[in-house]
Structure 1
Amino acid sequence: MTHPRRAWLAAASAALLAACGFELRRPPELQLKRVMLKGFEKRSPLADELRRTLQSGGTQVVETTPQAEAVLESLGDKREQVIAAQTAAGQVRELTLRLRFRFQLTAPSGRELIGPTELLLSRDMSYSETSALAKEQESEMLYRSMQSDVVAQVMRRLAAVRL
């Protein structure tokens, strides 16, 4: 008699999970079908992640302006480390990591679709000279996380563009 009850509970649980609306996050759907990336450094990790995210959402990344519906131009991509706290002896105890990305979106004709925009993210990180290598790896992980956040913000702004 316990087996039918377990089967009923399993079926009810599955129905509740299906009804909750849970869905994996996807990139926003863009009206733009062909975008050109311009002004990025050759080996820019931010450009690579933007390219992958655009392509995974069905947008083609093209190499020339005449092929593009829009041109996403990088006006600056900068990583910064600022000392946030020191000991009385002058040793660094806390760092602030910043990722600053400036961009604009234009039509191939030069018409501005998104004016110059700056995204600035920052993360605080404790620091110890005795574990400098581990802290360097931690800072790289934080920068990658901030980069993913920047890409998500750019994608949301691109999704709002109407041609």
Structure 2
Amino acid sequence: MKILRNVLMSLSLLTLAACGFHLRGSDLQDVRFGFRSIYLKTQGETPFVAELRRTLTKNKMEPVATTAQAELVLEIVSEKTTKQILSLSGSGRVREYQLGYRVSLRAYDQQRVEWLPQDDVQLTRVLTYDDAVILAKEQEEAQLYKDMRADAVAQTVRRLMRANPQQE
């Protein structure tokens, strides 16, 4: 019985590997950028900025300390989270929330030539809510925001990979 289980597990793993399955977050490997150095112009060291720095560093693109050292400046214009009531129960209690996360950014070089025009990375998730499990729902909400932040970092890196100077 144990041998059969091990064989089935091995076949399952082999099938997943053969179909091209990758764990979430593992798709940002062997990243190639069209620039050699980057400066992150931000309004503070938010969790998004810290995760973006880590991701860039992991992909051999160490952010520099000043704009003079950078070939490209990535400006994080704004970062915002939202929480709106999506649906109510018959008794008027909240049943679902819509969580939102938006990062506005743009990229330009030393001559202020746009590489990425100002654009938003927008993500939404639905959080079901129940008063009976408030602590669990708070943790789930925090995890959803963390996941959206990670997705926004991945989208930002993908945009940077495709970034080129805009022709006027």
TM-score (norm 2): 0.80
Q: CA RMSD in A?
A: 2.2
- The answer for unaligned runs of 5 or more in structure 2 is 1-10
- Deviation of 1:88 after TM superposition, in Å, equals 2.9
**For residue 119 of structure 2, what is the aligned residue in structure 1?**
117
1:38 is aligned to 2:41:
yes
**For residue 90 of structure 1, what is the aligned residue in structure 2?**
92
1:78 is aligned to 2:80:
yes
- The answer for unaligned runs of 5 or more in structure 1 is 1-12
| 8 Å Cα contact 1:40-1:47 kept in structure 2 | no
| 8 Å Cα contact 2:99-2:124 kept in structure 1 | yes
Match for 1:143 among 136, 142, 145? 145
Q: Which whole-Å CA distance do the structure 1 matches of 2:110 and 2:138 have between them?
A: 41
Q: Which whole-Å CA distance do the structure 2 matches of 1:76 and 1:162 have between them?
A: 22
**For residue 128 of structure 2, what is the aligned residue in structure 1?**
126
For 1:140, the aligned partner's letter is A
- Deviation of 1:21 after TM superposition, in Å, equals 8.0
- Percent of matched pairs sharing the same residue: 33
- Per-residue CA distance 1:87-141 (angstroms, 9 max, x = gap): 2332111001100110000112211110000111000010012211111110111
Q: Which whole-Å CA distance do the structure 2 matches of 1:30 and 1:21 have between them?
A: 27
TM-score (norm 1): 0.82
Measured at CA, do residues 89 and 70 of structure 1 come closer, stay the same or move farther in structure 2, by a change above 3 Å?
Answer: same
Rg comparison, structure with higher value: 1
* Aligned positions, number: 148
3-state DSSP of counterpart to 2:153? helix
